[in-house]
Amino acid sequence: MLFQDLILKLHEYWGRYGCVITEPYDTEVGAGTFYPTTFLKALGPEPWKTAYVAPSRRPQDGRYGENPYRFQYYFQYQVILKPSPADVQDLYLDSLRAIGIAVEDHDVRFVEDNWESPTLGAWGLGWEVWLDGMEITQFTYFQQVGGIDVNPISVELTYGLERIALYLQNKRHTYDVEYAPGVTIGEIRREFELEHCEYNFKYVDAEKVRRWFDDYEEEARRLLELKLIHPAYEFVLKASHAFNLLDARGVLGHAERQAYVQRVRRLAEATARVYLKKHHPEVAK
Amino acid sequence: MNLLFEIGTEELPAAYIPQATYNLKRMAAERLKKARLDFDGIETFSTPRRLTLIVKGLPPSSTRVEEERRGPPASAAFQDGQPTPAATGFARKAGVNVEDLEIKNNYVWARIIHEGEATSKLLPPLLAGLVRDLPAPKKMFWGAGDGPFVRPVRWLVARLGNEETLPVEVFNVIAGKTTRGHRFLAPGELEVNANNYASSLHEAYIVADPGQRRERIIFEAGTLAMSEGLEVVMPEDLIEEVTYLVEWPVAIMGSFSHRYLELPDEVLATVMIQHQRFFPVRTPGERLTNRFIGISGHQPSDLSVVRAGYEQVLEGRIYDAYFFWTEDLKTPLSEHHKRLTGINFHRGLGTMADKAARVRSAALKLASLPPLNSKPSPDKEVLREAAALFKADLPTQMVYEFPELEGIMARAYGEKQGLDIRVAQALEDAVRPLGHEAPLPRGPEGALLAAADRSDTLLGFFHLGKKPSGSADPYGLRRAAAGFVRILGAKGWPIPVKDVIGASADAYRSWGLEIEEGDIGEVHKFIDERVESLLTEAGLPTLAVRASQKSPSIYGKMLRARLIHELMQRPEFAELTRLYKRAANLASQSRRILEPDPRLFDTEEERLLFEALPSARRAVGELLEQGARLLPPWDPAQPPPETNLDPLADVLAQILALANALDPFMDRVLVMVEDEEIRENRLALLREVRDALGELGALELLSA
Give DSSP secondary structure letters for B596-653. Answer: --GGG--SHHHHHHHHHHHHHHHHHHHHHHHHHHHS----TTSPPP----GGGHHHHH
Residue B649: the pLDDT is: 93
Mutate to test the interface with B, among A60, A66, A84, A112 (most CBs of B within 10 A): A112
Q: Which chain A residues have a beta carbon less than 8 Å from that of B320?
A: 63, 67, 69-70
CB within 8 Å of chain A, chain B residues 329-368: 342-344, 347, 351
- CB–CB of B323 and A67 under 8 A? yes
Q: Which chain A residues have a beta carbon less than 8 Å from that of B245?
A: 109, 111
Query: Other CB atoms closer than 10 Å to residue A249's CB: what's the count?
Result: 19
**Chain centroid, CA B296 distance in Å:** 32
Least Cα separation, residue A12 to chain B (angstroms):
24
Whether A167 is covered by a domain: the verdict is yes
Least Cα separation, residue B226 to chain A (angstroms):
23
Q: What are the residue ranges of helices labelled H in A86-184?
A: 88-98, 161-169
Q: Report how far residue B468's alpha carbon sits from residue B366's, in angstroms, rounded to the nearest whole number.
A: 27
CB A225 within 8 A of CB A16: no
CB within 8 Å of chain A, chain B residues 31-60: 48
Number of domains in chain A: 2
**Which among B544, B559, B525, B699 has a CA at the least distance from the CA of B629?**
B559
Structure confidence at residue A285 as a pLDDT band (50, 70, 90): low
Q: Which chain B residues have a beta carbon less than 8 Å from that of A250?
A: 342
Least Cα separation, residue B306 to chain A (angstroms):
5
Q: Which chain B residues have a beta carbon less than 8 Å from that of A104?
A: 184, 300
Looking only at the bridges linking them, the beta strands covering B146-149 and B140-142 are antiparallel
Q: Report how far residue B530's alpha carbon sits from residue B524's, in angstroms, rounded to the nearest whole number.
A: 10
Out of B10, B246, B342, name the one closest to residue A89 (CB). B10
A104 touches chain B (CB under 8 A): yes
Q: Which chain A residues have a beta carbon less than 8 Å from that of B296?
A: 107
Half-sphere exposure of B360 (CA within 13 A, CB side): 20
CB B154 within 8 A of CB B48: no
Out of B245, B276, B344, name the one closest to residue A254 (CB). B344
A63 touches chain B (CB under 8 A): yes
Q: Hey, what amino acid is at B115?
A: E
Q: Hey, what amino acid is at B311?
A: E
Least Cα separation, residue A231 to chain B (angstroms):
30
- CB–CB of A106 and B152 under 8 A? no
> Does A134 lie in the same domain as A239?
no
Q: Which chain B residues have a beta carbon less than 8 Å from that of A153?
A: 140-145
Q: Report how far residue B597's alpha carbon sits from residue B595's, in angstroms, rounded to the nearest whole number.
A: 6
> Does A82 lie in the same domain as A174?
yes
> Does A215 lie in the same domain as A191?
no
> Does A106 lie in the same domain as A13?
yes
Q: What are the residue ranges of helices labelled H in A132-205?
A: 161-169, 185-198
> Does A108 lie in the same domain as A235?
no
The reported pTM is 0.80
Out of B144, B151, B314, name the one closest to residue A152 (CB). B144
Domain end: A199, A221, A256, which one? A199
B145 touches chain A (CB under 8 A): yes
For chain A, how long is the longest CA-to-CA vector? Answer: 55
CB within 8 Å of chain B, chain A residues 183-222: none
Least Cα separation, residue B471 to chain A (angstroms):
24
Least Cα separation, residue A192 to chain B (angstroms):
21
Q: Which chain A residues have a beta carbon less than 8 Å from that of B313?
A: 132-134
Mutate to test the interface with A, among B183, B253, B255, B311 (most CBs of A within 10 A): B183
> Does A145 lie in the same domain as A235?
no
Looking only at the bridges linking them, the beta strands covering A108-112 and A115-117 are unpaired
B302 touches chain A (CB under 8 A): yes
Q: What average pLDDT is seen over chain A?
A: 95
Mean predicted confidence (pLDDT) in A117-137: 94
Least Cα separation, residue B345 to chain A (angstroms):
8
Helices B554-568 and B477-491, axial angle in degrees (round to 10): 80
> Counting beta carbons within 10 angstroms of the beta carbon of residue A186, is it exposed (0 to 12), middle (13 to 18) or buried (19 or more)?
middle
- CB–CB of A106 and B300 under 8 A? yes
Q: Report how far residue B505's alpha carbon sits from residue A131's, in angstroms, rounded to the nearest whole number.
A: 54
Coil, helix or strand at residue A143: strand
Mutate to test the interface with A, among B12, B49, B140 (most CBs of A within 10 A): B140
> Does A214 lie in the same domain as A190?
no
Kindly report whether the peptide bond that precedes residue B376 is cis, defined as omega within 30 degrees of 0. Answer: yes
Q: Which ipTM score applies to this complex?
A: 0.95
> Does A268 lie in the same domain as A194?
no
Out of B245, B305, B312, name the one closest to residue A105 (CB). B305
> Does A122 lie in the same domain as A103?
yes
Q: Report how far residue B15's alpha carbon sits from residue B446's, in angstroms, rounded to the nearest whole number.
A: 34
pLDDT tens per residue across span A57-83: 999 999 899 888 889 999 999 999 999
Q: Report how far residue B432's alpha carbon sits from residue B566's, in angstroms, rounded to the nearest whole number.
A: 32
> Counting beta carbons within 10 angstroms of the beta carbon of residue B435, is it exposed (0 to 12), middle (13 to 18) or buried (19 or more)?
exposed
For A167, the domain range is 3-199
Give DSSP secondary structure letters for B431-454. Answer: T---SSSPPPPSSHHHHHHHHHHH
Give the containing element (helix H, strand E) for B169: strand B169-170
pLDDT tens per residue across span A204-246: 999 999 999 999 999 999 999 999 999 999 999 999 999 999 9
Q: Which chain B residues have a beta carbon less than 8 Å from that of A125?
A: 138, 140, 150-151
Residue B401: the pLDDT is: 86
Which chain A residue is nearest to residue B313, measuring alpha carbons?
A134
**Which among B668, B691, B663, B688 has a CA at the least distance from the CA of B602?**
B668
> Does A210 lie in the same domain as A122?
no
Q: Report how far residue B418's alpha carbon sits from residue B196's, in angstroms, rounded to the nearest whole number.
A: 65
Structure confidence at residue A254 as a pLDDT band (50, 70, 90): low
Where are the domains positioned within chain B? Answer: 3-61+119-203, 65-114, 210-325, 335-537, 548-702
CB within 8 Å of chain A, chain B residues 619-648: none
Residue B79: the pLDDT is: 87
CB A162 within 8 A of CB A74: yes
User: Which residues lie below 8 Å from residue B604, measured CB to CB, with a gap of 6+?
Assistant: none
> Counting beta carbons within 10 angstroms of the beta carbon of residue B59, is it exposed (0 to 12), middle (13 to 18) or buried (19 or more)?
middle
Whether A284 is covered by a domain: the verdict is no
**Which among B401, B338, B331, B336 has a CA at the least distance from the CA of A60?**
B401
Q: Which chain A residues have a beta carbon less than 8 Å from that of B183?
A: 93, 108
Scored b (16 or more CB within 10 A) or e, B509-528 reads eebebebeeebbebbbebbb
User: Which residues lie below 8 Å from residue B597, measured CB to CB, with a gap of 6+?
Assistant: B681, B684
> Does A225 lie in the same domain as A176?
no
Query: Other CB atoms closer than 10 Å to residue A30's CB: what's the count?
Result: 22
Out of A103, A109, A153, name the one closest to residue B145 (CB). A153
Least Cα separation, residue A138 to chain B (angstroms):
14
Asked whether residue A255 carries a pLDDT value surpassing 70, the answer given is no
Q: Report how far residue B291's alpha carbon sits from residue B252's, in angstroms, rounded to the nearest whole number.
A: 10
Q: Report how far residue B309's alpha carbon sits from residue B315's, in angstroms, rounded to the nearest whole number.
A: 10
CATH class belonging to B335-537 = mainly alpha
Domain end: A164, A184, A199, which one? A199
Q: Which chain A residues have a beta carbon less than 8 Å from that of B294?
A: 107, 133
Out of A66, A83, A134, name the one closest to residue B313 (CB). A134
Least Cα separation, residue A142 to chain B (angstroms):
8
Please report, for the domain that includes residue A227, its CATH number.
Answer: 1.20.58.180
Q: How many residues does chain A have?
A: 285
Mutate to test the interface with B, among A89, A107, A123, A131 (most CBs of B within 10 A): A107
Q: Which chain B residues have a beta carbon less than 8 Å from that of A112?
A: 11-15
> Does A66 lie in the same domain as A189?
yes
Domain end: A180, A199, A218, which one? A199
User: Which residues lie below 8 Å from residue B417, measured CB to CB, with a gap of 6+?
Assistant: B329, B332, B333
DSSP state of B700: G
Out of B144, B276, B320, name the one closest to residue A133 (CB). B276
Mutate to test the interface with A, among B312, B331, B352, B464 (most CBs of A within 10 A): B312
Whether A186 is covered by a domain: the verdict is yes
- CB–CB of A253 and B351 under 8 A? yes
Q: How far is CA B595 from CA A170, B265, B356, B688, in A?
A: 92, 65, 51, 8
Which chain B residue is nearest to residue A168, measuring alpha carbons?
B309
Mean pLDDT by runs of 10 across the 704 residues of chain B is 97 96 96 96 97 97 92 89 90 90 90 92 97 95 97 98 95 97 94 96 98 98 96 96 97 96 95 95 92 96 93 89 93 95 87 96 95 88 97 94 92 96 96 90 96 97 89 86 96 95 97 93 96 94 94 96 94 93 90 86 92 94 95 94 92 94 92 89 92 92 82
- CB–CB of B140 and A134 under 8 A? no
Asked whether residue A284 carries a pLDDT value surpassing 80, the answer given is no
Whether A285 is covered by a domain: the verdict is no
User: Which residues lie below 8 Å from residue A129, measured CB to CB, with a gap of 6+?
Assistant: A92, A108, A109, A110, A111, A135, A136, A137, A138, A139
CB A27 within 8 A of CB A112: no
End-to-end CA distance of chain B: 56
Q: Report how far residue B539's alpha carbon sits from residue B536's, in angstroms, rounded to the nearest whole number.
A: 5
Q: Report how far residue B474's alpha carbon sits from residue B49's, in angstroms, rounded to the nearest whole number.
A: 34
